[in-house]
Structure 1
Amino acid sequence: MDRPGFMASLVAGGVAGVSVDLILFPLDTIKTRLQSPQGFNKAGGFRGIYAGVPSAAVGSFPNAAAFFITYEYVKWFLHTDSSSYLTPMKHMLAASAGEVVACLIRVPSEVVKQRAQVSASTRTFQIFSNILYEEGIQGLYRGYKSTVLREALWSWRQDLVVDSWQSAVCGAFAGGFAAAVTTPLDVAKTRIMLAKAGSSTANGNVLSALHGVWQSQGLAGLFAGVFPRMAAISLGGFIFLGAYDHTHRLLLEVGRKSP
């Protein structure tokens, strides 16, 4: 990938990610509290819905930028003719690789953010310090496997030459549908990240976490938070892909005009 394209992907991905995370943070908090083992009201209800926002703000730009840099690079590396039947596979592989890399940044941020969301009275930095003290770096990566699995199942992005608004609409519909389908994995991820250190759930076994939710709460538990999750990801897909596409094109245009 050429340097202008690389830098455009870096900045556009970061801008899009920050926009989504900060605008839709209250919906994410509500979703997390609905999925928490103590229940919505005990987890904070509608109070302090911006608890944990510093963690999201710090991790958002590098997380989104890492995804799109990897995504664009892998697409370039696996270059095929635009008419090739392998093109969809190339995009899927690029998106999967992007998620694996981005989750190295996303998961620690998500662990701290979700614990802050269900403990609104505790400062974000204190939660971060407690995790490092009690569990070490490994504690910050609790739920990595479930997060990668969840993201890889809905991360495919169509790479057609369309207007920004078309890209945004496609992202909204695709994201909303995928959000509903992958909600059980998101519930498992939340339970793993919020589990008490040393418990069986904290070990990170996705199937075990899903089984535990099924036993205690049934189907309703597996789909806890599905509506705010669908709303957040649908709106997020609209904002994210639209902002990325528009910013990316703008930066490339500026790069072409620069001497």
Structure 2
Amino acid sequence: MDSFAAGGIAGVSEILVMYPLDVVKTRNQLFVGKSMGTIVSLRNIVKQEGVSRLYRGIILPICMEAPKRATKFAANDTWGQFYRKLFGVEKMTQSLSILTGATAGATESFVVVPFELVKIRLQDKNNTHLYLGTMDCLKKIIKQEGILALYNGLEATMMRHITWNSGYFGVIFLVKSRLKTKHELLNNFIAGTSGGCVGTMLNTPFDVVKSRIQNSPRTILPQKYNWSIPSLFIVAREEGFWALYKGFVPKVLRLGPGGGILLIVYTTLMEFFAKYK
């Protein structure tokens, strides 16, 4: 329960600081053609649509971040205990950290898919006139596409979270085992930031196709983007390999330091809960 609460608070802390970069990331991923830079995109959104547009759809991520991050860390702890017992290992190793992170990512996916889908629809500039807000978007998706449409992109979301979590927790284990500094907060920030950067490098292609799959209404047939692997080939063939890394800069700027913030808040709260008990 402690890891669930600490993960939830850590997730909300990160999203409040980093959300505008997520908006820019999604816009770049949905855009077919040459994307603008992060600073230019931020400036254009503010100039053309107002500052508030940088926070459009933030209600869903805030609602999502608590269960999402809570599930991430709680599942990582739980699966870690399971795998140590299964393989008869007393302490975590890097390979177990990668396996545990991947399994935790798959678990986390089932929680976040509906939130992610509504967030993607709200962040797309082309959908501005379609949805009045979060609840209006949710109601229209269910009414027009059916309630199962909320799980559109589940497979791609699982691929995104499996790759990110395995990279994130695997690198955290490696970096923390190598760091010699006695400053725990600095250790956690360096390890979390490094893990966030590596996780982002691994999962950005899956994030690109996930965004496109979830932004495709089920009422439009045939669907161009359905499953992650075929969609990867479609994007690479039509737009070039590097199109699979659209939105990488704002994403890594968010999830690099964001990964450090997550780990610092999580570990600090876990230490506080332990001391309080």
Cα distance change of structure 1 residues 199 and 107 upon mapping to structure 2, 3 Å threshold: same
TM-score by length of 2: 0.80
Aligned Cα root-mean-square deviation (Å): 2.4
2:27 is aligned with 1:33: yes
What aligned pairs does 1:1-259 form with structure 2 within 5 A after superposition? 7-37=1-31, 46=45, 47=49, 48-79=53-84, 80-82=89-91, 87-118=93-124, 119-120=127-128, 122=131, 123-156=133-166, 157=169, 158-159=172-173, 163-197=184-218, 198-201=220-223, 204-255=226-277
> Structure 1: which 5+ residue stretches go unaligned?
1-6
TM-score by length of 1: 0.85
Higher helix fraction: Structure 1 or Structure 2? 2
Match of 1:3 in 2: none
Offset, 1:134: 2.1
Cα distance change of structure 1 residues 145 and 218 upon mapping to structure 2, 3 Å threshold: same
In the aligned structure 2, how far is the partner of 1:249 from the partner of 1:62?
Answer: 20
In the aligned structure 1, how far is the partner of 2:26 from the partner of 2:119?
Answer: 10
Offset, 1:38: 6.0
**Cα distance per residue 1:43-93 (max 9 Å; x no partner):** 9951311111011111110111112222111222233222xxx73333223
SS of equivalent to 2:54: coil
Deviating 4+ runs (over 3 angstroms): 37-41, 158-162, 198-203
Cα distance change of structure 1 residues 201 and 17 upon mapping to structure 2, 3 Å threshold: farther
Count of residue correspondences: 245
Offset, 1:202: 6.5
Offset, 1:98: 1.6
In the aligned structure 1, how far is the partner of 2:239 from the partner of 2:225?
Answer: 21
Q: Is the 8 A contact 2:163 2:202 kept in 1?
A: no
SS of equivalent to 1:195: coil
